Structure 1
């Protein structure tokens, strides 16, 4: 089942370290079939306020997403991001086909 790495990034300091991170991250994703789905796209706030940017990367499954995050290649560049931004990062799985909202009550 598809799994997503979701990042809510705030207070990003654009500079050489972030540029180096952005330059290197695609190569870390490739062996794990990671693909950007959302990457700081223009947003429209419908309710509340949203500070920061949203990044969503898809992976074939949760195990592959974890393997990417733990990989030596990604760990080698991680500090370039964490040292220049604040953020929350989660892994979350896609729902099954034909999922309905009420399904969470039946689980």
Structure 2
């Protein structure tokens, strides 16, 4: 089941050379784990509800274990400070839903569950 690394990053107005180095090197850390960028701070976006400060980054992985192994890998851990010194943000790893997932089936399961 596909998993994702999702970042909501808040870059400083002027990016430092370290951020460019991070961006140049990250793909090499993703390749061994099957990671690929799905969204990378897309400049064109439309916030329809609430607020969305920052730049969205979504990286897809074949499995949750691949996402976790990438984030915990020595090559990626060495790059993290190049980003975090120059932009705050939140990063999470999350599993996707299986093929054929239906929100209505989840609603039915939750409706049938006894109250907590």
Provide the TM-score with structure 1 as the length reference: 0.92
Whole-angstrom CA distance in 2 between matches of 1:104 and 1:86: 35
The CA deviation at 1:32 is 0.7
Which residue matches 2:60?
58
Quick one: which of 79, 82, 87 aligns to 1:80?
Answer: 82
Q: Segments of 4+ in structure 1 off by > 4 A?
A: none
Aligned residue pair count: 107
Relative to structure 1, the CA distance from residue 102 to residue 73 in structure 2 (aligned partners, 3 Å threshold; closer, same or farther) is same
Quick one: which of 24, 32, 47 aligns to 1:45?
Answer: 47
Matched, 1:7 2:10: no
Name the SS of the counterpart of 2:28 in structure 1.
Answer: helix
**Range that drifts further, 93-102 or 47-56:** 93-102
Provide the TM-score with structure 2 as the length reference: 0.85
Structure 2 unmatched runs, 5+:
111-116
Name the SS of the counterpart of 1:18 in structure 2.
Answer: helix
